[in-house]
Each structure stands twice: as structure tokens, then as C-alpha cells.
A and B are shown apart, each in its own frame.
Chain A
Amino acid sequence: MAKVFEKPHALSDVSMHYCPGCTHGIIHRLVAEVIDELGIEGRTIGVAPVGCSVFAYNYFECDMQEAAHGRAPAVATGIKRAVKDSIVFTYQGDGDLAAIGTAETVHAAARGENITIIFVNNAIYGMTGGQMAPTSLVGQVTQTTPYGRDTSTQGYPIRVCEMLSQVEGAAYLERVAVNNIPNIRKAKKAIKKAFQNQIDGKGFSLIEVLSICPTNWGMSPQESMKWLEENMMPVYPLGVYKDKEQGEA
């Protein structure tokens, strides 16, 4: 019988710890499929963050390093510079990448560091139990904004792709979502391009993936998808924010 569904080789054969309905698992799968399709597992080194995806080092079959909170782009820089023909990617949440690790993110982009960043924006700190993230929406209720994100004390959400599009060193920036099948297909295409860019030596590529956190949003997975579409997408429009190949987007 023909196989219709198979685990990508680059995805380890272990059970993941993510909550039911969480889209972290889908994004892992897309990354692993791309690694398989490009045939780069043997020279790929991944960097796991601090956040819900902290155990990502157990989920990918390639060599992995675990970085301190926010430092993944610096760790990736060290790896890439040490092993020149390696393919290096980081997988980071919004607190990791856009709060504690903002400097590392911006400067890796500014250097045009030839790495691939998978940036999971779920508008919340998942792992620590649902606190405000730099990407939380104005008015969003979280554990640390129980009356809603108040701009007078907490300011405004950071739009990472828009911000980095001003950085000359960045080669490719795209925001995607994994809320339905067509978008998942687009997400995979973007991730593949971000890895292909690295293979081709094109420089810094970052794919921002809008993702859900049913547990800390306090909703069912279905409600979460709806919330993402109705509330996150208007603030974080999908699309290509920079593609050096195509000229500025």
C-alpha cells in the first residue's frame, strides 16, 4: 500500500509536550519537511530558545544547541561562523525574540548574518503561564495585564517584520500564519525560501508565523483560530516585508 502520511525524517520520533491544539507542532513539522526536501539535515544545526519550544532540541533530528533566553541569534552567529558550510536556524517565540533578545535579533539582521529565523508570534508568553508579550495587542488581557494592555504603562505591540524591513542587512522577511490549509501551504513555501536563501548565501531571513496559544488565551483551539483571524491579523498583516531578490516589498 502506498504511504499517504509520513513523519519527516528531520522530525524526531518522540511525543511533543505541546498543549492540545497548539500550532507549535505544525510549525515544527513544516521546518522538518523543508529540511528533508532540501536534503540538508546532515549539515543543519538548530538553536532552540527559552519558551514553550525550549525542548525543540529533542524534536529535530539534526544537531541542536539550546540558547539562553533571547540569545539564539548570537548563538547561531557563533555556530555559523565556526562551521561555515552549516545551515543554521533558530526557532524563537515573541518574548524571546522581541523582548529580551531584541538586540541580538536586530544586530544579527544588521550583519546580514546568513541564518534562518523561525519566529513564532502568539502574542503571549506561553511557557511562563500567559504574561504579556511585546506582541500582545492593545487591550489584550493577560496574567500581567489583567485589565488589558494599557498603552500608558505597557506601550504598543512591536511589529517585527515591519521593524526589520528598515534594516539593510536583512534579506528576506515574511509574515505567515498557520490558521488554515492555504496559509499553512504559504507558510511552508516561505520557510523553504528562507532556508534556500541560506544555502545560496543570500543572508538573513526571518519568517514570522502567527500562532495560537489556546491554553493561555483561555479559548478552545477553534475559538483561538477565530481570535487570531479577527484580532491578530489586522495588527499583523500577512505578506512579504522584504525580499532583496525582488527589490523592497
Chain B
Amino acid sequence: MAEKMLMKGNEAMAEAAMRAGCKLFFGYPITPQTEVAAYMAKKMPKIGGLFMQAESEVAAINMVYGAAGAGARVMTSSSSPGISLKSEGISYIAGSDLPCVIVNIVRGGPGLGGIQPAQSDYFQATKGGGHGDYHLVVLAPASVQEMVSLTAEAFDIADTYRMPVMIMGDGMLGQMMEPVEFENLPKREVPEKTWATTGTQMKRKKNIVNSLYIEPDALEKMNNERLERYELVKKNEVKVETVNAENADVVIVAYGVMARVAKTVMQMMEEKGIKVGVVRPITLWPFPTEEIAKVAESAKAFLSVEMSQGQMVEDVRLAVNGKKPVYFYGRNGGVVPSPDEICAEIEKIVGGMK
């Protein structure tokens, strides 16, 4: 059996990235993602890779752009205010069809906000953040082991569809220590990067990495080709975990650490004779719309539980599409909803329904 190590989420993610062939990391310090950069700084030189502390998140993401355009497996990590600064570059990366991996260890906002765990960047991650029509694949791990496997997979997804992939965690996941193993990480065949600017060697036509198309028809064509790829991603890459949802009185929809709390609530409510199910989106984009629609056939009600003022709940409502009531419960600013608070919320829903 593969050997297990006890590691912090942030460090495990950095290790997984290097094992997936990431040789370049560009970052700028910010809490609570610090351990990712510190681990990279320590280990990258040992494997012939590069850790670079940039002068800002703006510079870091543009270094990622340059390296990704030159065909390298490259990564950056930050936390909410830093991701806002990176958003310009992320839009250019998406518009130039470049693969890369971006980590957001989310903290409470808006503004400087706080440094405690939050999920208030859901809109930013799944609906844009930067300008223009574009998407990132957004992965939301709920354990240290999943941070490892999703990080490895993130690079392959990015290369397959030529698009940036974001891993969204929070300080709790990042600092949490759990046993992990690095054997048998997911691995796919990915296409060769024939488009990369590595120098023509006078053997091929030049490659251009670019997102500028002055003619509206040309720009629309590029965007629509990308849209076709997005449709493929929606078809092939949705990941979701569903537990106990059939005929449930209430189905909690929650991701990341909130889904772990939701599972505790599920057990607590079972003792009271109330059937609670859990749907845990692992990909926030593409969102598990079909799975939730299916669950809505038999479940009686939904409760989206988030560390925000209610962001994912909008996607849950779209998926449920009026078939069943959808409720929201959340705390924000770094406050984590407790199992007792969520149980009380469920009792209110069930009480009201009866």
C-alpha cells in the first residue's frame, strides 16, 4: 500500500503540483496561502524548477501568462485580494487560450476583509472576475487528499481544454493536517502544445499568443470556438458527490469544508428522524446542474449552506428550477456556520413544511 504522510493542505497541494510536472511558480505573499509559496520556494530549486516572488499579483499572473504561452506547466497561488489583482491577467490568459493553474485560498471580504476562511469569492471564480465572456474550471476540494488529487488533475484539465483552472480552498483546508498519499494520482494523455511560443527554430511558421481581434467577426469566431470547448467541459468534467439525497426531507448543497460540516449535520438529524442528504459540488464550474435537477425529483427541499451571503444558492435555484423550495443559510466574514445552527435551520424548514 502507498505510504501516507501527514501534511498541511497548502503544502500537499504544492507537492502535488510539482509531481504533476509544474516547474514554474510565480507568486506574491498573502495570508492564508503562505505555505504554498514557502513550500515551492524550498522545493523548486531542488528539482531544477523556479520559484519567483514577483513585485505584485499583477506581475505574477503576467509571468504565468508568458510561461504558459511558452508551453510550460505553471502555477500561481493567492488569496482573495490578490485574485482581484490577478483578474486582468486571468482574462488575458482565458482570451489567449492558455493553460495554467491558479489557487485561491479564499478569505473574508470585501476589501481587505479578514484572513479567516470564507467562500465569498464564488461569484468571482465562477462568473468571471475579469472582463469578457470566459470561464475557468473551478475545483473545490474538501480534504487534503482531494487537494492533492485535484491539483494533479487540474494541470491535465488545463492542458486538455487550453484554459485556466482554479482551485478554490480556504484557510481551514490550507492549514488542516491530514494523512495523504501521492501514489496513483490521476493522469491523462494531453495534447501536444504545438501552439506554444518556444522559438520557431526556423522550422515552422511563427506562433502568436494573443487575445486581440479587431474585426468583430474574427473575435466572435474565436470566442465561439472557445464556447464549444466550454460545452465539452460541461459534458465531460462535472464532478459531484451525492450522499443520502433520494427522498430526503432536506438536501444540503455545500462545497469544500462546508460539505464536511453538512455531513455531520446529516448524522445529527438522522437521530431526530429527519432525513438529510448532501450534494457536494466538486466542480463549481461546470456546476452539477443535472445532478441537482435529478435529486430535485425526489427530495423535498434544498438548503444551500455557504460561508458567504448567498452566492452558490443562485446556481442551486437555477438547477432546481422551481421544482422544490430552495433555502439559504450562511455566515460570512470568516465565521463558519456551526452544525447546531444548520440543524436549527433544517428544523425550521421541516417544521414549516409539515
Q: Interface of A with B (CB < 8 Å)?
A: 41-45, 47, 54, 57-58, 60-68, 71, 74-83, 86, 103-104, 106-107
Q: Within the complex, what minimum Cβ distance (angstroms) separates A32 from chain B?
A: 13
Q: Within the complex, what minimum Cβ distance (angstroms) separates B70 from chain A?
A: 4
| Chain B positions 65-114 with a Cβ under 8 Å from a chain A Cβ | 65-72, 74, 88-89, 92, 96
- Specify which of A42, A83, A107 is in contact with B55 (CB 8 Å cutoff): A107
Q: Interface of B with A (CB < 8 Å)?
A: 24, 26, 50, 52, 54-56, 58-60, 62-72, 74, 88-89, 92, 96, 197-203, 206-212
Considering the chains assembled together, what is the distance between the CA atoms of A204 and B234 in angstroms? 45
Q: Within the complex, what minimum Cβ distance (angstroms) separates B352 from chain A?
A: 51
Residue in A54, A75, A77 whose Cβ sees the most chain B Cβ within 10 Å:
A75
Residues of B within 8 A of A43 (CB): 199, 201
Closest to A41 in B: B202
Q: Are A42 and B212 in contact (CB-based, < 8 A)?
A: no
Residues of A within 8 A of B67 (CB): 78-79, 81-82
Q: Are A62 and B63 in contact (CB-based, < 8 A)?
A: no
Considering the chains assembled together, what is the distance between the CA atoms of A184 and B63 in angstroms? 33
Closest to A80 in B: B66
Dominant secondary structure of chain A at its interface with chain B: helix
Q: Are A82 and B70 in contact (CB-based, < 8 A)?
A: yes
Q: Are B66 and A74 in contact (CB-based, < 8 A)?
A: yes
Given contacts A63-B206, A103-B59, A104-B55, contact A82 B199 (CB under 8 A): no
Q: Are A75 and B62 in contact (CB-based, < 8 A)?
A: yes
The 6 A-B pairs at the shortest CB distance, nearest first, are namely: A78-B66, A74-B62, A63-B197, A78-B67, A75-B66, A78-B63
Considering the chains assembled together, what is the distance between the CA atoms of A195 and B46 in angstroms? 31
Q: Are A82 and B200 in contact (CB-based, < 8 A)?
A: no
Considering the chains assembled together, what is the distance between the CA atoms of A41 and B203 in angstroms? 11
Q: Are B62 and A65 in contact (CB-based, < 8 A)?
A: no
- Specify which of B64, B89, B198, B206 is in contact with A64 (CB 8 Å cutoff): B206
Residues of A within 8 A of B65 (CB): 65, 67-68, 71, 74-75, 78
Given contacts A57-B210, A77-B66, A81-B67, contact A64 B74 (CB under 8 A): no
Q: Within the complex, what minimum Cβ distance (angstroms) separates B121 from chain A?
A: 22
- Specify which of B92, B199, B209 is in contact with A62 (CB 8 Å cutoff): B199
18 chain-A/chain-B pairs, Cβ below 8 angstroms:
A41-B202, A43-B201, A45-B70, A62-B206, A63-B206, A66-B210, A74-B60, A74-B66, A75-B65, A75-B66, A77-B52, A77-B66, A78-B26, A78-B69, A82-B70, A83-B198, A86-B70, A103-B56
Closest to B88 in A: A68
Considering the chains assembled together, what is the distance between the CA atoms of A106 and B64 in angstroms? 19
Q: Are B199 and A44 in contact (CB-based, < 8 A)?
A: yes
Q: Within the complex, what minimum Cβ distance (angstroms) separates B267 from chain A?
A: 48
Residues of B within 8 A of A47 (CB): 66
